[in-house]
Amino acid sequence: MKHTPSRATGRPTLAQVAARAGVSQITASRALRSIATVDPQLAIRVHDAAKALAYVPNPAARTLASARSHSILVLVPALSNHLFIETLEAVQDVLRPRGFEVLIGNYHYRQDEEEELIRNYLSFQPCGILLTGFNRSETAAQLLTNAGVPCVYMMELRQEEGIVCVGFSQEAAGAKVADHLLSRGRRKLVFVGAQLDARVLQRRDGYQQAIARAGLSPAIEIMTPEPSSVELGGDLFNQLLAAHPDTDGIFFCNDDLAFGASFEALRKGVAIPERISVVGFNDLPGAGQMVPRLTSVRTPRATIGQQAAASLLKLLDGETPEIPALDLGFELMIRESS
């Protein structure tokens, strides 16, 4: 008798399931993968056998044999912004129950890091990729194309043949904020931006365009590539007050900046909204509790994650989503700060 090979995992294998069900291994494989060409009766026998043995497929073997994993890569520019956390959670909620493994890559808003992550993670042969926005290096884009892995883009929209994306119009959101501030009689408008990724710039553009449409001179721009934070918001606010004391309306590209500014305003006795109206972006947790309660644009980040995952599943099934560029809109939450 040959001894049992020591390097076996010890877990039941497909062969054992097949033996127990009295079918061939390949039939068991097909039955468990719900492939149509298996007799329903046999399929039931196989499933029963699998359950009885507590069989769990070996993903490595499956990936090796099929040259395609069941893992899905999600690339986000940051985890520190709560926004992306909600998107990730939604993505996981859709994909994990369907048996997919979700790999999370954080590229810290750096193109080179994103490229590196793509390069590394492609070696895992993911069966699909969820990406944030369209702004990436040529090489990264090329790697994705060459890999031939289905991709769905999140957050931004682009109407283009073969591109599947889920998001909302960052420009429209920026414009909406401008219109709102203008409707409140504000005329000395400012845009405060940090991080300066593509989406921040799109919001800025929409904001400025709306101001231009109203026949006013462009908003002053206070911008820094530093990562957005509460502390930075306070600093930029102080800087702004010193340089442009007559400012009467500010659009912060992210809520945390607005939070920091609000704190400084309280400290300095700058009346919000009486003297300056303040609007944030993303409606992060706490915006509605701030003093004063912060007006902000509520973005559908969870729904974006959910729908992006759903679209990717469609692509994996060989279908095309009926709406390739899905616009989920946004909502301006008008509160006390404006």
> Could you tell me where the DSSP H helices lie in 184-220?
198-213
- Minimum Å distance from CB 31 to a second copy? 19
Amino acid at residue number 244 = H
What kind and span of H or E run contains 18? helix 14-21
89 interacts with, out of a second copy, DNA, none, CB within 5 to 8 A per kind: a second copy
Gap between the Cα atoms of 23 and 2, Å rounded: 24
Cβ closest to DNA, residue 2 vs residue 162? 2
48 interacts with, out of a second copy, DNA, none, CB within 5 to 8 A per kind: none
What are phi and psi for residue 102, nearest 5 degrees? Answer: -100, 120
155 contacts 136 by C-beta, under 8 angstroms: no
* Sole binder of DNA in the list 65, 212, 271, 323 (CB under 7 A): 65
Gap between the Cα atoms of 86 and 280, Å rounded: 18
Which is it for strands 101-106 and 128-132: parallel, antiparallel or unpaired? unpaired
Q: What is the DSSP letter of 37?
A: T
Judged by CB under 7 A, the stretch of 61-69, 174-182, 221-229, 328-336 that binds DNA is 61-69
64 is a contact residue toward a second copy (CB under 8 A): yes
Strand partners, 152: 130
Judged by CB under 7 A, the stretch of 1-9, 131-139, 171-179, 323-331 that binds DNA is 1-9
Site for a second copy in 66-85 (CB under 8 A): 66-67, 69, 79-80, 82, 85
- Minimum Å distance from CB 175 to a second copy? 29
- Minimum Å distance from CB 111 to a second copy? 17
- Minimum Å distance from CB 123 to a second copy? 5
Gap between the Cα atoms of 67 and 197, Å rounded: 35
243 is a contact residue toward DNA (CB under 7 A): no
Site for a second copy in 278-307 (CB under 8 A): 285-286, 288-291
- Minimum Å distance from CB 99 to DNA? 11
Gap between the Cα atoms of 127 and 139, Å rounded: 20
The pattern of x and - marking residues 266 through 305 that bind DNA according to CB under 7 A reads ----------------------------------------
- Sign, CA torsion 31/35/38/40: positive
Question: How many angstroms separate the first and last alpha carbons of the chain?
Answer: 82
170 contacts 193 by C-beta, under 8 angstroms: no
Q: Contact residues for a second copy (CB under 8 A)?
A: 7-9, 56-61, 63-64, 66-67, 69, 79-80, 82, 85, 88-89, 92, 96, 101, 103-104, 106, 120, 123-125, 229-231, 234, 256, 259-260, 263-264, 266-267, 285-286, 288-291
